[in-house]
Amino acid sequence: MEYQVLARKFRPQTFDDVAGQEHVVRTLANAIGQGRIGHAFLFAGPRGVGKTSIARILAKSLNCETGPTATPCNVCPNCREITEGTSMDVREIDGASNRGIDEIRELRENVKFAPAASKYKIFIIDEVHMLTREAFNALLKTLEEPPGHVIFIFATTENHKVPATILSRCQCYDFRRISLGQIAANLGRLAAAEGITCSPAALSWIAEAGDGSMRDAQSIFDQVISYAGLSISDDDVEEILGLSDRRYLYRLSEAVLRRDAATCLMILEEAYLAGIDMKHFYSMLLKHFRNLLLVKITADGSSSFDIAPEQAEKLKAQAKEVSRETLRRYLDILLSEADSLRRSQEVRMKIETILVRMAYLEPVLPVGDILAALESLEHKLQRETPTSQGGESPTRIVRPPREPMPAPRAEEPAALARPEEIPAGTEANPVKNSVPGEDLKKFIKRHNARLGAKIDAALSWRFENGCLTLAFPDDYIFLESVMEKSQKEELERIAGEYYSQKVSVTVQTVAESRPRASSGNGRGEKAGNLNEIKREAMNSPLLQKVLDEFDGAELIEIKPITDKKQGG
């Protein structure tokens, strides 16, 4: 007897045999039971999901001698002829090879004749989207008002190519991809019926290779049986499906998560020498990191994404010690480079640079952890804020006036006078403004807000003979930034606009943070502690991670947060 492949031998013969299309089966069965049978149907969906099989089952249900019925007997002459493809009243037409207007004219002529031995004359046109525009136009009138004994069933994988005028005359059914579990269960039944031994893991791998298509999975299963015989081992399936490439994926992703760039390059070298296509390998790597992220996010719900159970366990173990944010960053990198890699002539070199970039990427902390750490640091700053003498709630630190200080007396050292040494009630004489009503600090902030925020902590300002002199505490956290050449040049440019002349800038320092001997209430020590906390905040790794997380972020100033006074 001639051998039949599994896809033909085990083709569904009743609606109950159909897997993964419950919504279509239920609607058609109810329509038959209620006598609400349309004159034209369009089945659209991916390849190998049961469109033609359901079309034949529908034809048998309508033409069965016991019908119309949702459960054809499959033993009467009409059912047997439809199953064997020899029925005179059920005609299957390939739309790809009968796509012209002449074939449609012939079909229109045949429609006029009554069925030979059945109740309905049924035309099943596969890949109907291949018909020409003229052929579709010739079919319109017949499709809209066919004789009562004629039913059209169209099947297509590309329903967007079918004209809207045709769609509006049909009942349209969208077929879905079949889940991995349903395909694996079907293959298990086939293996039991054929006396074949195969592990559930191997069946899952074959089902996954089918990519949602039952026919593709059955064809692959046929190929595996031809290779391994009736006793199929996992190694046989790995060999014929090329799943040994997955071993490189797990090793490579493990090296990336360990931030071991050298190992990443060595594993890629092994895969290249093993003859693996690099573009295909990159697609597998992209899918692997996608699965890692899905398993990390969904935990026990990962089976909903058609990930085999044994593969999900390996992915969970690998993703256990890495954050969701880090995995998302890895996937973003792979996705952003996918298009350029497809066009690249040096695919291997491109993948190497991507892997090195991923391996040297700093782990990304969850935003919640960052906020919690910043909140803890905020409380610490608040506890260290100087309090008033009466033991009241902490008050906001008030800096001394930052207007230009008077020139030091002749008997004083050449260093700038400290703000604390100005007698109470004495106001420093402000520099003459070139812009009425606007002092220099506001002018700088208006032109460069970041620079204005950094120099706002200056203890004194002095402008003489075209030279602007600023004094800062020697432990000011932004002192190095202010003294950079680019910052000084920008400050000179803005000050030059303010004074309408060429200005040079000089930055000096004073020992602001050292406690003074005359401080009897410990405020000098408190100020020193506050500066230490500011330096700690500036050098905090958490702060650096925050700056890395948000593109373009820059630290402008650190201010202590204090409570407002209660009751005025």
CB 47 within 8 A of CB 216: yes
CA-nearest of 449, 444, 512 to 479 is 512
Query: What pLDDT score was predicted for residue 554?
Result: 62
Going by pLDDT thresholds of 50, 70 and 90, the confidence category of residue 384 is: low
Quick: pLDDT tens for 396-452: 434 444 444 444 444 443 333 343 333 333 333 344 444 333 478 888 888 887 888
94 φ, ψ to 5°? -85, 110
Please give the model's pTM, rounded to 2 decimal places: 0.60
Looking at the predicted structure, is the pLDDT value of residue 171 above 50?
yes
Domain boundary among 126, 152, 174: 174
Is the per-residue pLDDT at 54 higher than 90? yes
pLDDT confidence band for 466 (50 / 70 / 90): confident
198 bridge partner residues: 232
In this structure, the number of other CB atoms found within 10 A of the CB of residue 65 comes to 15
What single DSSP character describes residue 45? -
pLDDT score recorded for residue 450: 80
Q: What percent of the chain has pLDDT over 90?
A: 29
Specify the DSSP element, H or E, that contains 231: strand 231-232
Question: What is the model's pLDDT at position 121?
Answer: 92
What is the count of structural domains for the chain? 3
Q: Is the confidence at residue 331, as pLDDT, over 70?
A: yes
Provide the CATH number for the domain around residue 291.
Answer: 1.20.272.10
What is the SS3 assignment for 321? coil
Mean pLDDT calculated for residue range 164-175: 92
Q: How confident is the model at residue 545 (pLDDT cuts 50, 70, 90)?
A: low
Q: Report yes or no on 137 lying in a domain.
A: yes
Q: Find the CATH number of the domain harbouring 198.
A: 1.10.8.60
Q: Is the pLDDT of residue 53 over 90?
A: yes
One domain for residues 24 and 118: yes
- Judged against a pLDDT cut of 90, whether residue 370 lies above it is answered with no
Least confident segment among 19-23, 42-46, 272-276, 432-436: 432-436
At 7-32, the pLDDT tens digits run 888 999 999 999 889 999 999 999 99
Two structure tokens written together for 97: 């090879």
* 93 and 225 together in one domain: no
pLDDT of residue 29: 93
In a domain, 513, yes or no: no
CATH of the domain at 44: 3.40.50.300
43 and 153 within one domain: yes
Q: What is the pLDDT of residue 320?
A: 84
Distance (Å, rounded) from C-alpha 83 to C-alpha 79?
A: 6
Average pLDDT over residues 546-552: 61
Specify if 355 maps to a domain. Answer: yes
Instruction: To the nearest 10°, report the CA torsion of 299, 300, 304, 310.
Output: 100
| 353 located within any domain | yes
* Residue of 370, 461, 369, 478 whose CA lies nearest to 419: 461
Return phi, psi of residue 90, to 5°: -120, 110
Residues 67 and 160 in one domain: yes
CA dist 422 and 427 (Å) reads 8
Q: Would the pLDDT of 566 be above 50?
A: no
Calpha distance 328→115 (Å, rounded): 61
If we measure between CA atoms, which residue out of 565, 566, 567 comes closest to residue 395? 565
Q: How many CB atoms lie within 10 A of CB 567?
A: 3
Shared domain check, 311 and 232: no
Do both 11 and 142 map to the same domain? yes
Q: Answer yes or no: is pLDDT of 281 > 80.
A: yes
Question: Is 64 inside a domain boundary?
Answer: yes
Those residues with Cβ within 8 angstroms of residue 296's Cβ, 6 or more apart along the chain or in another chain: 316, 319, 322, 324, 327
Give the distance from CA 273 to its chain's centroid.
31
Residue 97, domain member (yes or no): yes
**Alpha-helix runs per DSSP H in 75-151:** 77-84, 101-111, 133-144
Report the candidate in 358, 348, 281, 350 with the shortest Cα–Cα distance to residue 326: 358
Return the structure tokens found at 14. 């009743």
Residues 292-308 pLDDT 10s:
888 888 876 555 566 77
For 124, other C-beta atoms within 10 Å of its C-beta total 24
DSSP state of 304: G
pLDDT at 460: 81
Give the end of a domain, one of 221, 241, 261. Answer: 241
pLDDT tens, position by position, 528-544: 555 666 666 666 666 66
Q: ∠ CA(218), CA(91), CA(34), 5° rounding?
A: 85
Neighbours of 500 (CB within 10 A): 9
pLDDT for residue 519: 42
- Give the integer Cα–Cα distance in Å for 174 and 189: 26
> What's the confidence (pLDDT) of residue 561?
57
Q: Does pLDDT of 318 surpass 90?
A: no
**Total residues belonging to the chain:** 568
What are the distances in angstroms from CA 238 to CA 209, 281, 350? Answer: 11, 16, 28
Condensed to tens digits (0 to 9), the pLDDT of residues 203-249 reads: 988 988 888 899 999 999 999 999 888 888 888 888 888 776 778 88
The domain boundary residue, chosen from 335, 359, 383: 359
Residue 76 and residue 186 in one domain: no
By residue range, what is the domain housing residue 276? 245-359
Give yes or no: residues 234 and 151 share one domain.
Answer: no
Question: 187 and 95, same structural domain?
Answer: no
- Is 106's pLDDT higher than 60? yes
88 and 210 co-located in one domain:
no
- Is the model more confident about 310 or about 496? 496
Whether the pLDDT of residue 354 is over 90: the answer is yes
- CA 344 vs. chain centroid, Å, equals 23
Q: Looking at residues 369-384, what average pLDDT do you find?
A: 67
Q: Is residue 170 part of a domain?
A: yes
The verdict on 67 and 214 lying in the same domain is no
pLDDT, one tens digit per residue, over 124-142 is: 999 999 999 999 998 988 8
Q: Do 17 and 137 have their domain in common?
A: yes
